[in-house]
């Protein structure tokens, strides 16, 4: 499920309220506001770490002439390993991470200690890696989680790209209505459902179903139901506020941006 929620700010209290009652592993970036979220195990995002190195890479950077390129390469090595583990059950994925990924992590942090007096973007990347170490290494103890929250970033990309188009959609009621639509459409895409035909179906069916009973069951209309998947499966690919991704395919994990 891809769940969108409107909040008036990005304060940690907003994430705490949104995740009230959730216990499990929270995969997120290094924003300190998430420190207030209780009853969760926090895991860092290696996609954000990799982006820090990318932003620090000068034009023409390579492994021989750029520290940032070497940092980026360490991240790429971890993601390459994760692709190999992708279809493994949680316990085996965890075992492989400890056997194969942990040496890369150990080499990475030993290498970081050889970087003296970094400046500019390189300094930011090094600082992020050091300060977020505990969170970035959490995946070595949890085979059920991903090492990054790219799913969330992909889900919010249409909203971010169109940000300037929504400048005059300036009411909180409109924002709350919008996130309902985003939740329906992005959850459909996450389940392999054609969002346009699925939404048309909902608009046809729901008014009649709710005409006599506003609390009528709708389980059969959820985009993860077998009947909906069979009827509205996507043919080919469909292009892709705060977004929360749950439940994941592997255990108690939530991804947050």
The pLDDT value given to residue 160: 79
The pLDDT value given to residue 238: 43
Q: How many structural domains comprise the chain? A: 1
Confidence of residue 246 (pLDDT cuts 50, 70, 90): very low
Lookup: tokens for 102 = 């942990």
Quick check: is 187 in a domain? no
pLDDT in tens, 46-84: 999 999 999 999 999 999 999 999 999 999 999 999 999
pLDDT in tens, 158-177: 777 777 777 776 788 888 88
Quick check: is 157 in a domain? no
Q: How far is CA 131 from the centre of its chain?
A: 20
Quick check: is 67 in a domain? yes
Quick check: is 205 in a domain? no
Lookup: tokens for 232 = 């509205």
What gap in Å lies between CA 79 and CA 238, rounded to an integer?
24
Quick check: is 48 in a domain? yes
Counts for the chain of helices (H) and strands (E), in that order: 11, 5
What gap in Å lies between CA 42 and CA 35, rounded to an integer?
8
Residues 6+ apart with CB under 8 A from 71: 52, 53, 56, 108, 112, 125, 129
Can you give the pTM of this predicted structure? 0.81
3-state secondary structure of 245: strand
Quick check: is 10 in a domain? yes
Quick check: is 121 in a domain? yes
Cα-based angle 185, 190, 195 (whole degrees, multiple of 5): 35
Structural domain that includes position 120: 2-141
The pLDDT value given to residue 255: 59
Confidence of residue 256 (pLDDT cuts 50, 70, 90): low
Quick check: is 52 in a domain? yes
């Amino acid at each position: 499920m891809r769940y969108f929620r409107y909040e008036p700010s990005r304060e940690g209290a907003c994430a705490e309220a949104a995740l009230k009652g959730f216990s499990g592993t929270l995969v997120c970036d290094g924003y300190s506001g998430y420190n207030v979220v209780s009853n969760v195990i926090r895991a860092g995002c290696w996609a954000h770490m990799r982006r820090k190195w990318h932003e620090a890479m000068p034009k023409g950077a390579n492994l021989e002439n750029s520290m940032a390129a070497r940092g980026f390469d360490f991240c790429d090595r971890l993601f390459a390993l994760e692709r190999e583990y992708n279809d493994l059950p949680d316990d085996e994925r965890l075992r492989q991470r400890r056997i194969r990924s942990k040496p890369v992590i150990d080499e990475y942090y030993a290498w970081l200690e050889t970087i003296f007096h970094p400046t500019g973007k390189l300094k930011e990347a090094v600082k992020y890696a050091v300060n977020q170490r505990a969170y970035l290494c959490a995946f070595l103890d949890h085979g059920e989680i991903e090492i990054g929250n790219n799913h969330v970033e992909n889900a919010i990309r249409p909203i971010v790209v169109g940000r300037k188009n929504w400048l005059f959609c300036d009411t909180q009621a409109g924002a709350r209505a919008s996130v309902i639509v985003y939740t329906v459409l992005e959850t459909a895409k996450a389940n392999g459902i054609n969002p346009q035909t699925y939404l048309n179906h909902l608009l046809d069916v729901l008014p009649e179903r709710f005409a006599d009973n506003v609390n009528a069951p709708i389980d059969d209309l959820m985009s993860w139901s077998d009947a909906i998947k069979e009827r509205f499966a996507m043919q080919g690919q469909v292009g892709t506020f705060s977004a929360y991704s749950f439940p994941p395919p592997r255990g108690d994990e939530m991804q947050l941006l």
